[in-house]
Amino acid sequence: MHILQKIKNKTVVVGIVGMGYVGLPLGMAFANKKITVIGFDLDEKKIRLLNKGKGYLKHISDEKIKKVVESGYLKTTNDFSRFPEVDAILICVPTPLTEHREPDMSFVESTSKTIAKHLQKGQLVVLESTTYPGTTEELLLPLFNRNNGKQNFIVGKDYYLAYSPEREDPNNPNFTTAEIPKVVGGVTPQCSKVAKALYDLVIVNTVPVSSPGTAEATKLLENIYRSINIALVNELKMVFDRMNIDIWEVISAASTKPFGYTAFYPGPGLGGHCIPIDPFYLTWKAREFELNTKFIELAGEINTYQPYYVVEKSAEALNKFKKALNGSKVLILGAAYKKNIDDMRESPSLKLIEIYKEKGAKVDYHDPLVPILPKTRKYKFDMKSIKLTKEKLKRYDLVVLSTDHSIFDYKFISFNAKLIIDTRNAFEVRGIKSNKIFKA
C-alpha cells in the first residue's frame, strides 16, 4: 500500500529519532491522534521511563505520557534495526556548534547513515533538526540515493525526502506542537505532497514551500530575527543605563504603539538550543559564498557579552557597599535558560557561574526545577541546588536573579537578601522596589 493511502487510512507508522524536547512532544501529538509511533533514542534511561509511562521533561506531565503509552500508540526503543517497521522517519536530533562556532553535524550524519542502511522503498524521511540551508540535499540525499550501496533509489519515486523545521517552545501555555503551523519543503513535489499529508494528520496548518533549502532558511530567519532584536535591546539596556534611563520602562512605553513595534526584552544572555546557536549555521554557510553576515556576528558579540555585563554590574553594586566581588558569596537564582522549565541548554546561568568563580566569588545556585547541574558540552559543575531559607539568604553578599521562575517567593527573597541583581526586571514587575535591588 502506498504511504499516501496509509496516511489517509491513519494506518501509517511514524518513527521519531531523538525523544527529547522536540521528538517527544511530536510523538505524543501523533499518538494522541491514534497514529502508531515508534520512538528511537540512544538513552536507555529515557526509553525505560517512557515505556513505563513516565517522563523526564518537567513541562510534560507523567499523566499525558502514561495516556499515550497505555493506549499502545507510543513505544520507544534503541533498536535502530526496526526502521523498516515504520513508514515515516522524522529526525529530531541535536545540531550543536563546535568550539569554533561551526556546525556539528555528527548526530544528523550518524543518524542518516543508519537510516540509509535500513531505508525501504516507499518510506518518507524528514529532517527536523535546525541546520544550514542545503543540509537535506547535500548531506542526506546522496546517502539515501545510494542506500548504502545496496541499490540506487530515486528520490520522489522510491522514497521521499523533506525538511520541516521544529518550532517547539517548551512550556508555552498558548501553543502546543499541534497548534504551531509547520513549514514543509520536499526535494521533489511528490516529496512535499507526502510530507504535508503526514503532518496534516496532527498539525493545525502546514505551510508548503518550494524546497528544503527554503524551509531550512525559514527556521534560521525566525531565530536570527529574534537574536538581532534581543541584541538591540541588550545594547540599549547598557546605553540607557549610563543615561540613568530604565530600559524596561522604555519598552513598556514603546509597546503602547499598536503597529510597527514588537517588544523584545534584555536579559543575562541567550539560552536554549535555538537562538544562541542557529544564526551561526548561516554565518558558517555564508562563507562558502564569500559573504560575511555582519548583523548576525555583531548580535552574537553583544549577546555573548551580557553575562560579563551582569558580573560588572555586580561588582559595581558590591562596591557601593564597600565589598569586593573577590571573596563574596554569590547566590544565583534560576539555572534553566528561561522561566518555568528545566531546560539547561545554553543557559546563561552556567556562564555566570563560571565568570563569578573566575573573579574569586564563592557561588551557589537555587532552582527547584534543576536540582543538580547536569554535565554539558562546555561545563561540568559539581553543584546542587541549595534549599532557600531566611538564614541562608542572609549569608550571601549578593543574590543574582538569572531566571525569573514563577515559583520564587520574590517578597521573601527581597526582604532577606542583602543585595540583589535583577536581570529580568522580575521584582519591579511584582511591585517590589528597594535601594538594594539593582538591574543588570
- In order, the DSSP letters of 18-87 are --STTHHHHHHHHHHTT-EEEEE-S-HHHHHHHHTT--SSTTS-HHHHHHHHHTTSEEEES-GGGGGG-S
Task: Give the phi and the psi of residue 220 in degrees, each rounded to 5.
Answer: -65, -40
Query: Taking CA 248 as the corner, what is the angle to CA 349 and CA 363, rounded to the nearest 5 degrees?
Result: 20
- 177 is written with which cell numbers? 506542537
Euclidean distance between CA atoms 321 and 187, whole angstroms: 63
Question: One of 274, 317, 318, 419 is an active-site residue; which one?
Answer: 274
- Edge-to-edge strands of the sheet including 36-40? 74-77, 36-40, 13-17, 88-91, 124-127, 160-163, 182-186, 206-209
Residue 185, beta-bridge partner list: 163, 209
Could you give the CA distance from residue 123 to residue 83 in angstroms, rounded to a whole number? 10
The SS3 assignment for 332 reads strand
Catalytic site includes residue 191 = no
- Look up residue 61 and give its amino acid: S
Axis-axis angle for helices 44-51, 62-70 (nearest 10): 70
Whole-angstrom distance, CA of residue 133 vs CA of residue 211: 10
Cα separation, 285 vs 94, in Å, equals 18
| Sheet (strand 437-439) strand order | 362-366, 329-333, 398-401, 420-422, 437-439
What is d(CA 422, CA 439) in angstroms, rounded to the nearest whole number? 5
Q: Which residues are catalytic?
A: 274
